[in-house]
Structure 1
Amino acid sequence: MNESRDPNAVRFDPASGADHVESYFLKANDPSGERALWIKATIFASAREPGRPLAEGWAIAFDRRGGTSKHVAVKHVLPFSDALFGAEGLDIAWSIAGSDDRMRIRPGDTHGRITRREHSIRWDLRFDGEARPFVPFPHPAMYRGKFPKSKTLTPYPDLVFSGEVDVDGERWDLSGWRGMQGHNWGRGHADLYAWCHVNTWESEADLTVEALSGRVRVGPVLTPLVTLVCARFRGVTYTWNGPLEIARAHGDVGLRRYSFSAEGHAARIEGTFEAETDDMVGLYYPNPDGPMTYCLNSKLARAHLRFEAAGRPPVVVKSHAAALEIGTRDADHGVRMHV
């Protein structure tokens, strides 16, 4: 990025009074593809209510064992002033007075508890992976300036987890689960976006892939869909974000399906990610300026990837333990909204 700041350093300035959303998240996938865990810590600040920013803790335990979806989604909210978000790197902490709810995320470990009504998710996890981030935007100024309004990067694209999670009293052992840690921020959520990530395959493959496509509003104009793709194959990172690569890249975003393709001189890639309606959890993502974004979130998506590095035979792999998120302003999306 050619920036001195750590990829996980918080970007929110409470003194600015500006619209701001920011998220740190972890996801881990059961190798069998039957379960997954998603944990997120967020900041929400609106210029309409200066001086009242919020911190939020989210967790989803995805579970489709036995062919029946039994997902549990929980969320709690507290004043930003009661939370810690580190200015130097990954350092998030808070406790909610009068309850056992809490959140702690730092390099290498996370623990916490979030309750909502009759549901509870508690976790105590360690994670390990190489700190070589995926940086999809091609210019450092795009991370510092106002455009695009949504910034994203992945400080840890490939992690291995250990530890345990308690989901409504049931203990899950996460030993050997693969996953990642991401960070995004900006003035609001894109009007339409798709994001996917996968590093758990049905066959052996030293491959991690992440892609995103989005449309944002610049004044009254909605930009065309822009697609950016990152991959790491056998230790080599490929990023399709040069001018010609962006012009050639293609993305197609539906409410249950996302496909993309990209090519450059070093490699080409194409992929399709799909999720059943029952494998998606709907989340409300309000924007500081008013409109609602509906996040259709699945960590149990199917993925089909074809990757071909120059001079090498193509690698074709499949997964049923992939992440897929669709962000839409369409309230008639047909997915059950949880939190």
Structure 2
Amino acid sequence: MSVFTSYGNENRMRWDRTKRGFMEVWFATLNHGPTGSGLWLRYTLTAPKKAEPYCELWAFWFDPTGARSFAGKHRYSIDHLGSANGRDDGALVRIGDAWMSESHLEGEVTSGDRALAWSLDLEPAPATFQHIPAPLRDRLERRVSALCSPNLSVPFQGMVKLGGAAFEFERERGCQTHRWGARHPVTWAWAHCESFEGTSDTVFEGVAARTDIVRIPLPTTSLLYLRHEGEDIPFNELRWALSAKSRYEMPTWAFHARNESWKIIGGARATHDRAVQVRYEDPDGSERFCANSEIADLAIELYRSSPSGWRHVRSLISIRGAHLEFGRRSPFEGSPVTL
């Protein structure tokens, strides 16, 4: 079964504007090649069980030197949420003056006396990457949350302005993802990379998460995918996902997985000085703390099955070109909670 779908509705808003105990987020991550900086944008809505719904706009700029790094968000009452799913000049989601469509992201966030503004076009992917194995998607959507990347690795073009500086993006590849459901997992690690040394046709996407159902803890599930030299190598089909292994604790995630033909062993790392810590509020009122870096490191060893055993194929390395995130219920030591 393919890990890609082409229903055409994977990015559409799921919230019906009445349901409580629901959250939804669209986010994009990409890197600016000329400066080595990273960009993270989030359009979110939350309908708490016991409070009024609201929507938020988040924006982050990760400068390798730290000189121009930026973190900011705006919270809006729900009446600032525009019409969805193309009924508002093609916007999938509009929050105040900021909006996102299938092919464009626009917005601005201020923090103190600084502002981060963006106007970016993207080329929509022909198919959506599905992180979660098909037999589990409906169940997890109802009890935890669903996750997919309608634009796993696509070119972005446009402008980002930060203070008095302007950063032009010329077909820089990035990722756009959609999550919706009742809550975040209990803990998680996520990584994405398309900036490996010596290759321009390799993409890694992975998430490991631990959750509970009716307060019963479940084991960590690792869902990994690699595209290498034009070949899709999924490790997130159900039988392979159940055997994949992960160990994660800020600042490092180590993982390994296999399928019938390939094996992957890897590790991602982001030190505190290259990450930002923020607080999420789940619809049930609980908190999650997220440590995110868009200038992380990632190393992968790739093996292929042969009659004599596993044969090493390639070492894949990205220095400050990977995207990495950790989440849990308590704050991470070593860095302040910025937002």
- The verdict on a shared fold, with TM-score over 0.5 as the criterion, is yes
What is the SS of the residue equivalent to 1:278?
Answer: helix
* Contact 2:85–2:93, Cα closer than 8 Å, also in 1: no
Give 1:13 shift.
Answer: 2.1
Structure 2 CA distance for aligned equivalents of residues 319 and 81 of structure 1: 42
> Unaligned regions of 5+ residues in structure 2, if any?
none
* Contact 2:158–2:170, Cα closer than 8 Å, also in 1: yes
Q: Is the alpha carbon distance of 1:126 and 1:2 closer, same or farther for their aligned partners in structure 2, counting shifts above 3 Å?
A: closer
* Structure 1 residues 240-255: aligned runs within 5 Å: 240-255=235-250
Give 1:32 shift.
Answer: 5.7
Give 2:43's aligned residue. 41
Give 2:30's aligned residue. 28
> Unaligned regions of 5+ residues in structure 1, if any?
96-101
Give 1:327's aligned residue. 327
Give 2:121's aligned residue. 126
Aligned AA (1:82): H
Structure 1 CA distance for aligned equivalents of residues 252 and 312 of structure 2: 27
Structure 2 CA distance for aligned equivalents of residues 30 and 14 of structure 1: 36
Aligned AA (2:95): W
Aligned AA (2:268): F
What is the SS of the residue equivalent to 1:81?
Answer: helix
* Contact 2:187–2:329, Cα closer than 8 Å, also in 1: yes
2:294 is equivalent to residue 285 of structure 1:
no
* Contact 2:291–2:332, Cα closer than 8 Å, also in 1: no
Aligned AA (1:91): L
Give 1:260 shift.
Answer: 1.1
* Structure 1 residues 57-136: aligned runs within 5 Å: 57-65=57-65, 68=66, 70-84=68-82, 86-87=84-85, 91-95=92-96, 102-136=97-131
TM-score using structure 2 length: 0.89
Aligned AA (1:264): N
Give 1:175's aligned residue. 170
The RMSD of aligned alpha carbons is 2.3
What is the SS of the residue equivalent to 2:107?
Answer: strand
Give 1:80 shift.
Answer: 2.4
Q: Deviations over 1:157-208 (max 9, x none)?
A: 1122221111122111222422111111111111100011000112224111
2:11 is equivalent to residue 12 of structure 1:
no
Q: Is the alpha carbon distance of 1:155 and 1:40 closer, same or farther for their aligned partners in structure 2, counting shifts above 3 Å?
A: same
TM-score using structure 1 length: 0.89
Q: Deviations over 1:181-239 (max 9, x none)?
A: 11111111111000110001122241111111111121121111111112222333232
Structure 1 CA distance for aligned equivalents of residues 56 and 70 of structure 2: 17
Runs of 4+ in structure 1 displaced over 3 angstroms?
Answer: 1-5, 87-90, 143-148, 308-313
What is the SS of the residue equivalent to 1:113?
Answer: strand
Q: Is the alpha carbon distance of 1:145 and 1:324 closer, same or farther for their aligned partners in structure 2, counting shifts above 3 Å?
A: closer
* Contact 1:166–1:172, Cα closer than 8 Å, also in 2: yes
Give 1:28 shift.
Answer: 1.2
Give 1:252 shift.
Answer: 0.8
Give 1:98's aligned residue. none
